[in-house]
Amino acid sequence: MRTLLLSLFLLFVSACGGGGGGSTTSVMPPPVDADPGGLWFGTVTYDDQTFEELVGITTSDGRFTLISLDTFGPDTFGQYIGMLTVNGTDATGLGSAYAAPGTTWDNGSTVLEISITAVINEQTTMSGSWTASSGETGSFELDYDSDYERDSSLVLLEGVWYVYDDILNPVLTLTVDAGGAFTAQNNLGCQSLGQISIIDASFNVYGWDVAISNCLIDGDYSGFAVLGNLDTGDPANSQNNVVLVSMSNDLRALLLPLER
């Protein structure tokens, strides 16, 4: 499930010499850049050698979102969002590290600049290190998950979705139409108007754009959504019934765990 090796092919070019003799020369093709796209699961390690679970969402054009769980205590998260450039299997990236809503990093900032260096074994592993503008550093190790290879379709997202609190009361309701347009409102009065889009129909990552109004987190946001399965005990209702949404702007990043 987690292993798909990138195949490299050698191109042999024959060159004939004069004078009754000949020679054959093999020519290596240009290096093939690894496709960074995928869903990834693993750990992030910090300077003090503590570590947390890490979820990664990346696209073939190099956009990345890394979500670290429990960064600021139980049930909190930090997000690392930016762009990767790949050369062979080596990748470098720049982006922003977002503190969980209502929290700050150690230096009091809510958003830090980060740089990333990584090695990508296409659709197998991704590992590397990161440095924040605050001077903090760390490393990460991720394994590929083949759920990325599910076809995407707006039809699969059509319907009504909810975010629940800890006692399973709905705190946000989001309704998606057949074309991917959606509206949403939470129990604080925040209103959302947005659009889901297909990035590549062969892969299980969707584009997510939304304008949020009438609350403290007003603004335009963009990001990714990933469709998944949550076992409810009823096989008929355990497919395509959860969506993880990561979205951000210059000020903050938000994470929505949506359920049918």
DSSP state for residue 25 in the 8-state scheme = E
Coil, helix or strand for 159? strand
**Domain limits, the chain:** 38-148, 151-259
Q: How much is the pLDDT for 49?
A: 86
Q: Dig out the tokens for 178 from the structure.
A: 């057949």
Among candidate residues 108, 103, 54, the one with its CA nearest the CA of residue 246 = 54
The single residue listed with the structure tokens 């093999």 is 26
What's the CA gap between 129 and 116, in Å, rounded?
6
pTM: 0.85
Among candidate residues 127, 66, 129, the one with its CA nearest the CA of residue 98 = 66
The CA-atom distances, in angstroms, between 47 and each of 50, 130, 138, 187 are 7, 11, 6, 39
Among candidate residues 65, 109, 105, 119, the one with its CA nearest the CA of residue 253 = 65
State in Å, rounded, how far the first CA of the chain is from the last one. 26
Task: Please classify residue 38 by burial: count the beta carbons closer than 10 Å to its beta carbon, then call 0-12 exposed, 13-18 middle and 19+ buried.
Answer: buried
Backbone CA torsion sign across 246, 91, 118, 152: positive
Q: How much is the pLDDT for 16?
A: 28
The CA-atom distances, in angstroms, between 205 and each of 147, 183, 218 are 10, 20, 25
Q: How much is the pLDDT for 21?
A: 44
The single residue listed with the structure tokens 């007003």 is 218
Phi then psi for residue 154, to 5 deg, are -65, -25
Q: How much is the pLDDT for 58?
A: 97
pLDDT digit of tens for each residue in the chain (260 aa)? 222 212 212 222 222 233 444 444 556 566 689 999 999 999 999 888 888 999 999 999 999 999 998 776 777 789 999 999 999 999 999 999 999 888 888 889 999 999 999 999 999 999 999 999 988 899 999 999 999 999 999 999 999 999 998 888 999 999 999 999 999 999 999 999 999 999 999 999 999 999 999 999 999 999 999 999 988 787 777 789 999 999 999 999 999 999 99
Q: How much is the pLDDT for 136?
A: 87
Q: How much is the pLDDT for 11?
A: 21
DSSP bridge pairs for 33: none
Q: Which of the four CATH numbers 1.10.2020.10, 2.40.50.100, 3.40.50.150, 2.40.128.120 does domain 38-148 have?
A: 2.40.128.120
